[in-house]
C-alpha cells in the first residue's frame, strides 16, 4: 500500500478511515454544555408538534431541570410566541445569547433574529440547514440538562441536518388519530432508524375531546389506532393528549408555562428519571 495522502477522492484502497462511518456532528458552542438532546418530530404538519415541544420543555423546567428549546422550524417558527417572547436575541463577539422565558427556559428561534416576526424566510434548503447548525454552534447555551429540538414536519433537509450535526439522544414522534397515521409515523420512524437515532416513543395529539358537561370522550378525528401502529413498530405510546382549546389559547397568548395541569408532566418526569433509555 502506498503512503496515505488522506485524499479519499483519488484513492481506491479500503482502509478503516475510508470504510468507517463519518462523524458529521458539529461541536456545541465552547461556552456551552448540553446534556440530553431530544428531537420532537412529525411526519406531517398540523399535529401540534410545537405545542408538544413547548409543553414538554415547560414541564421539564418545572421539575428543576435547566431546559432549552432549539426551534429548527426555520420557515414556520412558533416557539417564541408560545412562551410570550417578542424581543430580539442579543449577541457579542463570543456568540449569540438565547432569550430566557419567565420560567427559565432558554430559547433560540429565527423569530428572535428577524426584524419583524411576520417577515417570511425565503431561503433555499442549504441556507436553512446552515442556520440550524449555527443555532447549535454559535449560541451560548451555557449549562443545559435537556434540550428539545422543535423540528419542521417531514423528512427533508432540516431533519437530516439535525440528525447528522447534533448529538441527538432520542426522538419523540408526534401524530394524530387520522387514517394516514400509520404511513406517516412509519416514515418518520424509518428516517430516525436509518440515522441510528433512538426512538423514545410516540405522542398522539388530538386523541379525543372530553365534553365538559357530560364528561364523555369524543373521538373527533376518528378512533385512535396508535396502540396498534406503535406495537407494529415496536414503539411505546408515551402520551395521548386531548383536544384542549384552553391549551391552544395559552400557546397563542404566550402562556404555555402557565397552563396547568401540564398534560406532559408525567412524560417529562419519566424522561428526567431515565425511564426511556
Q: Which helix (H) or strand (E) holds 80?
A: helix 79-82
Per-residue model confidence as pLDDT tens digits over 17-54: 555 557 889 999 999 999 999 999 998 888 999 999 99
Strands 95-97 and 90-92: antiparallel
What is the distance in angstroms between the CA of the first residue and the CA of the last residue of the chain? 44
Per-residue model confidence as pLDDT tens digits over 189-218: 999 999 999 999 999 999 999 988 898 999
C-alpha span between 258 and 82 (Å, rounded): 11
Per the structure block, which three cell numbers stand in for 220? 373527533
Cβ distance 32 to 140 under 8 Å? yes
DSSP 17: H
Per-residue model confidence as pLDDT tens digits over 123-143: 998 999 999 999 999 999 999
pLDDT band at 14 (very low <50, low <70, confident <90, very high): low
Amino acid at each position: 500500500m502506498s503512503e496515505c495522502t488522506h485524499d479519499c477522492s483519488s484513492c481506491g484502497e479500503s482502509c478503516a478511515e475510508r470504510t468507517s462511518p463519518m462523524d458529521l456532528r458539529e461541536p456545541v458552542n465552547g461556552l456551552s454544555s448540553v446534556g440530553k438532546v431530544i428531537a420532537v418530530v412529525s411526519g406531517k404538519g398540523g399535529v401540534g408538534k410545537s405545542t408538544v415541544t413547548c409543553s414538554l420543555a415547560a414541564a421539564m423546567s418545572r421539575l428543576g431541570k435547566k431546559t432549552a428549546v432549539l426551534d429548527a422550524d426555520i420557515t414556520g417558527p412558533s416557539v417564541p410566541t408560545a412562551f410570550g417572547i417578542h424581543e430580539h436575541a442579543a449577541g457579542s463577539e463570543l456568540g449569540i445569547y438565547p432569550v430566557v422565558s419567565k420560567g427559565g427556559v432558554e430559547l433560540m428561534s429565527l423569530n428572535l433574529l428577524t426584524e419583524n416576526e411576520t417577515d417570511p424566510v425565503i431561503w433555499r434548503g442549504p441556507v436553512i440547514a446552515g442556520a440550524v447548525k449555527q443555532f447549535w454552534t454559535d449560541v451560548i447555551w451555557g449549562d443545559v440538562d435537556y434540550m428539545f429540538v422543535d423540528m419542521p414536519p417531514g423528512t427533508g433537509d432540516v431533519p437530516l441536518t439535525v440528525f447528522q450535526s447534533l448529538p441527538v439522544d432520542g426522538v419523540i414522534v408526534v401524530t394524530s388519530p387520522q387514517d394516514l397515521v400509520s404511513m406517516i409515523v412509519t416514515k418518520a420512524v424509518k428516517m430516525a432508524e436509518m440515522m441510528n437515532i433512538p426512538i423514545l416513543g410516540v405522542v398522539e395529539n388530538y386523541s379525543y375531546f372530553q365534553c365538559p358537561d357530560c364528561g364523555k370522550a369524543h373521538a373527533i378525528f376518528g378512533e385512535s389506532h396508535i396502540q396498534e401502529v406503535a406495537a407494529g413498530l415496536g414503539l411505546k405510546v408515551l402520551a395521548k393528549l386531548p383536544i384542549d382549546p384552553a391549551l391552544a389559547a395559552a400557546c397563542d397568548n404566550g402562556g404555555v408555562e402557565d397552563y396547568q395541569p401540564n398534560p406532559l408532566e408525567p412524560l417529562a418526569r419519566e424522561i428526567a428519571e431515565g425511564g426511556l433509555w
